[in-house]
């Protein structure tokens, strides 16, 4: 019990009377089942928005950047605003998956997979805008330092714009590898549960041969920690480099040393808001309320409060420094009295209300735990952070040091269409992901079931017995009082002795511990009975179970499966032949020919000496 101990004051992270089997069924249902009408409605709307945006992109590329609302004074506007906004949204996934992993935060496990997917899809949207803004997207490779036929043509390594290329491409690559690595056990779960040969083949390829061996899990943990260590600096570096696009210039309102930490905090602020927006909808549509709980929502709201507080301090600092400097140009920057009362006053006050005032409501616990209010606040924060980027770029550029060049920016239908198109593209990708990939890291959630599951926390509080609590009536229905993790059966010394200890004397099969957790047809049970006649039966009264994990290729799960089939000793394993190996392959379905390749029988003969 101590290994699964968690302070009673902590709220459960998995609600309901859940077993390991329940988690597999619930997480696999959106993938293995059919999409409901709500999914199709949202997908259709997102697809229409995406196609509209695609049409606007084609029109822009074929006609020229002149179809946007840019002018000589404001050369960056809607497009770079959207670029910075999307990069910021992609920040939460790395924070949740990498930083919180290193801090061993359990609550991340139900939300990290979708947050990582959101990161990848958001960065894809962000990367579209600089490429389109080039005017000739087919020459986008020119930003890369590669040999070319133009002699001295080379990239400018002193430019933060080039740093963006490397930072964001690195961020996307590491996030993609991190996401895919975490999905391996989930792909394997879908592979093993699906009845479709096509799906089984596809998910078998995607899972890279994952078998659940102890060695697989060891490597999984090691790679996850290494990737988390590599990804953690990216949480700070990516948006820091994006901030350098502005901070290294001499434009009033941009030339600021506070931009790097301010941009990072703002990115996490908006990223968590988008995670809230997506997961609140997904938990309802996919029936995942027991896994993405109010506790998860509250924890994320606390992160939003923290980063929102940092952003607020940055706003106040920017306003004060601009006023205290006495420089007249600072009165026209995005955080100034001039901005609050000037032509872009509506954008200024949208920023203040959405990012400063509305999030303050989350200090009230009742509102912080209210799903509908949290969804509203998340939407408002996303809108506010977009206006922040709009203010930084457009307001600061609209009034520079030459009044003769002051200008206003007005977006065209093409600007708006491309932005809406990227939102549609984002949701198309996310909805397809929710239908084809497990949206919750089921393997990781299972690791916290006994410590943070409502059922097990209640058992500890009432002094209940944890032994046997993992049994599920659907996978071991005829066993009334049996712990599937037990190493020693009551007896399996002879068929004629019946099923002593199982409360059912009418079953005529060999008492093979708990084979019904693996199979449910009589023919297979007969084959197991015949196998035990050949390799020998285990009698706990006269024999001691051996540690089968000493055999190469046998991990804790495989050892449990062998116990369920009545195999407990090296002597039994040493008598396995090709016939028995084929039976194990057919029943366990966790490996293909591994026992024969690893020569379990030969290893067992050496171990039993």
Residue 5 pLDDT: 59
Q: How far apart are CA 515 and CA 587, in angstroms?
A: 10
In this predicted model, what pLDDT tens digit does every residue of 446-473 receive, in sequence order? 888 877 777 777 777 766 555 555 555 5
Q: How far apart are CA 407 and CA 400, in angstroms?
A: 9
Q: How far apart are CA 245 and CA 80, in angstroms?
A: 10
Retrieve residue 5's tokens. Answer: 């101990």
- Over residues 247-274, the mean pLDDT reads 87
Q: How far apart are CA 451 and CA 3, in angstroms?
A: 8
Secondary structure class of 559 (helix, strand, coil): helix
C-alpha count within 13 angstroms, C-beta hemisphere, residue 31: 27
- Over residues 14-18, the mean pLDDT reads 81
Retrieve residue 1's tokens. Answer: 């019990």
In this predicted model, what pLDDT tens digit does every residue of 227-247 receive, in sequence order? 888 888 887 888 888 888 888
Please tell me which of 146-160, 220-234, 505-519 the model is most confident about, judged by mean pLDDT.
Answer: 220-234
Retrieve residue 270's tokens. Answer: 């908006």
Retrieve residue 73's tokens. Answer: 């004074």
18 near 453, Cβ under 8 Å?
A: yes
Residue 212 pLDDT: 76
Whether 153 has a pLDDT exceeding 80, the answer reads: no
Whether 306 has a pLDDT exceeding 50, the answer reads: yes
Residue 86 pLDDT: 92
- Give 57-60's long-range contacts (Cβ < 8 A, gap of 24+): 57/128, 57/132, 57/418, 57/421, 59/414, 60/132, 60/414, 60/418
Residue 506 pLDDT: 39
Whether 55 has a pLDDT exceeding 90, the answer reads: yes
In this predicted model, what pLDDT tens digit does every residue of 68-106 receive, in sequence order? 888 888 888 888 899 999 988 888 777 787 888 888 888
Retrieve residue 547's tokens. Answer: 């540690």
Q: How far apart are CA 352 and CA 341, in angstroms?
A: 13
Domains and CATH numbers, the chain: 2-146+155-452 (1.20.1630.10), 477-607 (no CATH)
Question: Among the listed ranges 32-41, 77-86, 200-209, 592-601, which one has the minimum average pLDDT value?
Answer: 592-601
Retrieve residue 589's tokens. Answer: 């379905």
Q: Where are the alpha helices (DSSP H) in 194-213?
A: 197-206
Q: Determine the angle formed by the axes of helices 259-285 and 112-133, rounding to 10 degrees.
A: 120
Q: How far apart are CA 262 and CA 268, in angstroms?
A: 10
Q: DSSP for 398-442?
A: HS-S-GGG-------HHHHHHHHHHHHHHHHHHHHHHHHS-SS-H
Residue 508 pLDDT: 46
Band of residue 505 on the pLDDT scale cut at 50, 70, 90: very low
What is the C-alpha radius of gyration for the chain, rounded to an integer number of angstroms? 30
* Average pLDDT value over all residues in the chain: 81
Q: How far apart are CA 118 and CA 92, in angstroms?
A: 9
Q: DSSP for 209-225?
A: T----HHHHHHHHHHHH
More confident residue, 487 or 7: 7
445 near 14, Cβ under 8 Å?
A: yes
- Over residues 237-266, the mean pLDDT reads 86
Q: How far apart are CA 1 and CA 462, in angstroms?
A: 13
Question: Among the listed ranges 324-333, 487-496, 585-594, which one has the minimum average pLDDT value?
Answer: 487-496
Triad 309, 311, 313: Cα angle to 5°: 70
Bridge-partner residues for 453, per DSSP?
14
Band of residue 489 on the pLDDT scale cut at 50, 70, 90: very low
- Over residues 149-159, the mean pLDDT reads 74
């Amino acid at each position: 019990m101590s290994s699964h101990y968690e302070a009673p004051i902590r709220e459960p992270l998995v609600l309901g009377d859940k077993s390991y089997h329940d988690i597999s069924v619930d997480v696999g249902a959106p993938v293995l089942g059919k999409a409901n009408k709500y999914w199709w409605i949202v997908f259709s709307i997102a697809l229409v928005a995406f196609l509209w945006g695609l049409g606007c992109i084609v029109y822009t590329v074929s006609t020229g950047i002149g179809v946007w609302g840019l002018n000589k004074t404001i050369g960056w506007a809607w497009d770079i605003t959207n670029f910075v906004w999307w990069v910021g949204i992609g920040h939460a996934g790395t924070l949740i998956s990498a930083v919180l992993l290193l801090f061993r935060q359990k609550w991340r496990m139900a939300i990290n997979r979708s947050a990582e997917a959101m990161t990848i899809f958001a960065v894809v949207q962000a990367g579209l805008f600089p490429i389109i803004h080039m005017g000739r997207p087919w020459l986008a490779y020119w930003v890369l330092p590669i040999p070319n036929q133009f002699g001295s043509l080379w990239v400018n390594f002193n430019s933060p714009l080039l740093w963006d290329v490397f930072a964001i491409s690195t961020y996307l690559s590491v996030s993609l590898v991190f996401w895919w690595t975490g999905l391996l056990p989930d792909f394997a779960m879908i592979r093993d549960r699906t009845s479709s040969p096509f799906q089984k083949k596809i998910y078998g390829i995607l899972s890279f041969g994952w078998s659940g061996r102890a060695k697989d899990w060891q490597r999984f943990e090691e790679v996850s920690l290494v990737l988390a260590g590599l990804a953690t600096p990216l949480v700070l570096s990516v948006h820091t480099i994006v901030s350098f696009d502005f901070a290294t210039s001499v434009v009033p309102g941009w030339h600021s040393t506070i931009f790097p930490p301010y941009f990072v905090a703002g990115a996490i602020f908006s990223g968590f808001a988008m995670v809230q927006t997506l997961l609140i909808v997904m938990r309802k549509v996919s029936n995942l309320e027991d896994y993405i709980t109010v506790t998860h929502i509250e924890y994320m709201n606390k992160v939003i409060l923290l980063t929102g507080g940092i952003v607020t301090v940055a706003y106040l600092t920017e306003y004060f420094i601009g006023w205290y400097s006495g420089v007249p140009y600072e009165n026209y920057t995005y955080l100034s009295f001039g901005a609050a009362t000037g032509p872009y006053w509506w954008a200024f006050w949208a920023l203040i209300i959405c990012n400063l005032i509305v999030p303050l409501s989350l200090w009230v616990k009742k509102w912080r735990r209210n799903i509908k209010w949290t969804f509203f606040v998340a939407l408002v924060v996303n809108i506010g952070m977009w206006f922040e980027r709009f203010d930084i770029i457009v307001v600061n550029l609209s009034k520079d040091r030459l009044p003769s060049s002051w200008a206003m920016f007005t977006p065209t239908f093409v600007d708006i269409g491309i932005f809406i198109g990227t939102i549609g593209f984002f949701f198309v990708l996310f909805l397809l992901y929710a239908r084809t990939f497990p949206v919750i890291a089921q393997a990781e959630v299972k690791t916290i079931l006994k410590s943070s599951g409502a059922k097990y926390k209640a058992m500890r509080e009432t002094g209940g017995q944890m032994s046997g609590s993992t049994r599920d009536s659907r996978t071991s229905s005829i066993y009334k009082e049996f712990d599937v993790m037990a190493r020693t059966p009551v007896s399996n010394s002879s068929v004629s002795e019946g099923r002593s200890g199982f409360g059912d004397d009418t079953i005529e099969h060999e008492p093979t511990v708990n084979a019904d957790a693996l199979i449910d047809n009589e023919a297979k049970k007969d084959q197991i009975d015949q196998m035990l006649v050949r390799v020998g039966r285990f009698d706990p009264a006269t024999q001691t179970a051996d540690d089968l994990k000493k055999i190469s290729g046998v991990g804790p799960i495989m050892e449990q499966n062998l116990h369920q089939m009545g195999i407990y000793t090296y002597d039994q394993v040493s008598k396995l032949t090709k016939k028995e190996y084929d039976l194990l392959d057919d029943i366990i379905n966790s490996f293909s020919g591994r026992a024969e390749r690893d020569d379990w029988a030969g290893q067992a003969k050496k171990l039993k000496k």
